[in-house]
A and B are shown apart, each in its own frame.
Chain A
Amino acid sequence: MKYGNNKKAWLYLLPAIAFLGLFMVYPLIDVVVYSFEESFNFASQTYSGVGLYNFSYVLRDPYFLQAIKNTFILVIITVPLSTGIALLISLGLNSIKKLRDLYQTVFFLPYVTNTLAVGLVFMILFKKTAYTDGMVNLLIQLFGGSSVDFIDGPYWAKMFVLCFYTIWVVMPFKILILTSALASVKQDYYNAAKIDGTAKWRTYYKITLPMISPMIFYLVITGFIGAFKAYSDAVALFGTDLNAAGMNTIVGYVYDMLYGNSGGYPSYASAAALILFAIVMTITCINLMISRKNVQY
């Protein structure tokens, strides 16, 4: 390796570094600074002191606690479920020959569909209006149940819709990744297992799963991160006033603190954002530690 062309190298890197610095690093540092400045006034750019007050305020704010609760429920339900279902679907896809392309296309459709358009479809499915109770309620009534308001009704019903929606939206990408991972497992391994008389479930558990485990862990980690950053899905379903609906997420809370009705508090928003960052960081580290133990090659 020659280091003689150092200056040239920096020159080539300059545009990228400049943009990253301006739009990524500087705002990041700014967020940290904001979060420690107490009673910061955006208009006059003044603050009264430096300390942890912003964090303690945010952590005592019932809206934030609700957002954290919502986000955690969303993460804990949707990540394992979506990954698990995606795994089952890709295994199914991998084992059929006929109509495989058709099914693959169908399963991939949500990925190329606009979030808000999907939200509209979910409205038709779940929302109660003056004219109809929504398709799902019609079904419930058909089987003799009483209708539930999924959009403005009880908390669990709203959470159910949000989870259902999230799973449906994130699934295609996972199916795509997993089917290609499954297809890359060489037929020879299966042939070898077959000749040794390996039972189907054992082949799956002892060969297929370990072989695609790196991809599964990749999906779990990115799934966790993605779910913690959920916001647009909730907006698509419940509108912009998520606090009122009780369905706010952490990112939603940050947004509200900046621009929402209760907005204009960059310090609180920054503190909340940093708390989210800490949570995601911790979870990702735990994930990596577990995966290092289990992904063996």
Chain B
Amino acid sequence: MKVVLDHLTKRFPNINIKIKTEVVAVDDFDFEIPDGKLIGLLGPSGCGKSTTLNLICGLETPTEGRVFFGDDDVTKLPPENRGVGLVFQNYALYPHLTVRQNIMFPLQNLKGADKLTKQQMEEKVLEAAKLVQIDGLLDRKPSEMSGGQQQRVAIARALVKRPKVLLLDEPLSNLDARLRLQTREEIKRIQRETGITTIFVTHDQEEAMSISDLIVVMEAGKVNQIGKPQDVYDDPVNLFVAKFLGTPAINVFDAEVRDGVLWIAGDDVMDGVDVPDQKVWAGIRPEAFVPDDSGKMECKLVNVEVMGRDTSVVSTHEGMQGVSIRAIISAENKVDQTKEIVNFRLRPAKVYLFDKTSSKRIYFGDQKPLGRA
């Protein structure tokens, strides 16, 4: 089932009633989510991603715009008639019911022609439980389970009615790091097995990148960029997206283009920049740095962290924003730790320029926009 968000806008009245201006939680969200895909809604907290989810499932009604499931306009439909499954951040499992009763709860609500016999319900519960691999724990109470197991129960409860769309609100944020890795694979597997269009909200870019077919990067209610995770990473449309994606984060510099050369605080770090002369923000990915004694970018070495496969070089430079620069170099490229200065050459493909005022991307040389969704 494809989900179409047609110029969706949600404005809330300000909590402080003296302030008459409204808070725009979601601003003109316009996107068609293809059938059977896993979509990651990504953004910092307060950017409107949870509100978007609530608009899709019907817990909130949009101020403007419409929501379609397939060809059906569901904007006015109450949540129960939309056929969505929602997994809450804290799972919202009913603590007084067993796992079996929790998963069965949505089935018992069915009325009329959809009504199931006890036998059918049991079968469906078992099927959903098997899918998330908790079929051995059906008679436990949620309080007798670990966070990861509770998470699975919540997913089973959302899936048992075979929803058209599965929504996950920060599904992994309550799990520890190891479990998070495991569970996100699990979510991907379940999504692939069921083929249900799934939208999940997260503020963790790594999580979104790793399992999503498409990611939607949001900031302050606005959609900044939609695309395949790798495309968005390789081709950020603005400074915000560039800064939000990637660990370690992109290094941002106060820079200037003069006569086709990129200058950062007195260093002519890169040429071949065929854009008009102007001041710019230069975003340089950690992997863009190549140690080279004849390299034009001269940095003060702070520390070299060897992490097995890669080496992370921490240094400082006059033009940088923030406290240090982090470069990731492959292990063959040795950096002399005894020296105080390290010189880098830059890979042009991993250097992004952004307009100083609008923060929009400025393409140069071989760079061109990738196919965007």
Seen from chain A, the residues whose Cβ lies within 8 Å of a Cβ on chain B are 186, 188-189, 191-199, 202, 206-207, 210-211, 213, 296-297
B373 within 8 A of A: no
Contact, CB under 8 Å: A297 / B96: yes
- CB-based contact B92/A296 at 8 Å: no
Residues of B participating in the A interface, judged by any CB pair closer than 8 Å: 57-59, 78-81, 84-86, 88, 90, 92, 94-96, 105-106, 109-110, 141, 143, 157, 161
Q: A206–B79 Cα gap in the complex (Å)?
A: 19
Our pick among B81, B94, B157 for the contact of A197 (Cβ within 8 Å) is: B81
Chain A nearest CB: distance from B155 CB in Å? 13
Given contacts A197-B109, A199-B109, A297-B95, contact A188 B79 (CB under 8 A): no
- Are A196 and B90 neighbours in the complex by a CB distance under 8 Å? no
Nearest-Cβ distance from residue A205 to partner chain B, whole angstroms: 12
Instruction: Report 24 cross-chain contacts, Cβ distance below 8 Å, ordered by A residue.
Output: A186-B90, A188-B88, A188-B90, A193-B105, A194-B79, A194-B80, A195-B58, A195-B85, A195-B86, A196-B80, A196-B105, A196-B157, A196-B161, A197-B80, A197-B81, A197-B106, A197-B109, A198-B80, A198-B109, A199-B109, A206-B94, A296-B141, A297-B96, A297-B141
Contacts A188-B88, A199-B109, A202-B109 given; indicate if A194 touches B94 (C-beta within 8 A): no
Q: Which residue of B lies closest to A187 (CB)?
A: B92
Q: Is the interface of A mostly helix, strand, loop or mixed?
A: helix
Q: Is the interface of B mostly helix, strand, loop or mixed?
A: loop
The number of A-B residue pairs with CB atoms under 8 Å apart is 59
Q: In whole Å, how far is A98's beta carbon from the nearest beta carbon of chain B?
A: 13
A contact residues around B96 at 8 Å (CB): 210-211, 213, 296-297
In the complex, what residues of A have CB within 8 A of residue B110's CB? 197
Residue in B closest to A199 when the chains form the complex, CB atoms: B109
- Give the CA-CA distance A198 to B80 in the complex, in Å: 8
Other-chain contact of A207, B57, B58, B90, B94 (Cβ < 8 Å):
B94
Q: Report yes or no: A186 in contact with B92, Cβ–Cβ below 8 A.
A: yes
Are A196 and B88 interface neighbours, CB within 8 A? no
Which B residues are in CB contact (< 8 Å) with A211? 95-96
A189 proximity list for chain B (CB < 8 A)? 92, 94
CB contact between B88 and one of A192, A210, A213, A297 (< 8 Å): that residue: A192
* Interchain nearest-CB distance for B99 vs A (Å): 13
> In the bound complex, what is the Cα–Cα distance between A199 and B109 (angstroms)?
7
B80 near A192: Cβ-Cβ < 8 Å: no
* Residues B90 and A195 in contact, CB atoms below 8 Å apart: no
Known A195-B57, A196-B161; judge A297-B90 contact (CB<8 A): no
Q: How far is the CA of A297 from the CA of B58 in the complex (A)?
A: 31
CB distance from B98 to the nearest CB of A (A): 10
Given the contacts A196-B109, A297-B141, A191 and B80 also touching, CB distance less than 8 Å: no
Distance (whole angstroms) from the CB of A188 to the closest CB of chain B: 4
Top 5 nearest A-B pairs by Cβ distance?
Answer: A197-B80, A196-B106, A188-B92, A210-B96, A192-B92
Q: Using Cβ atoms and an 8 Å threshold, which residues of chain B touch A192?
A: 86, 88, 92, 157
Name which residue of chain B comes closest to A209, CB basis.
B96
Q: In the complex, how many angstroms separate the beta carbon of A277 from the nearest chain B beta carbon? A: 34
- B94 in contact with A191 (CB, 8 Å): no
Shortest distance in angstroms between A194's beta carbon and chain B's nearest beta carbon?
5
Contacts of B86 in A (CB 8 A): 191-192, 195
Contacting residue for B80 out of A186, A188, A195, CB 8 A: A195
Beyond the given pairs A186-B92, A198-B109, A297-B141, 12 more chain A to chain B contacts, judged by CB atoms under 8 angstroms and listed by A's residue number, are: A186-B90, A188-B90, A189-B94, A192-B157, A194-B59, A195-B79, A196-B106, A197-B106, A210-B94, A210-B96, A211-B96, A296-B96
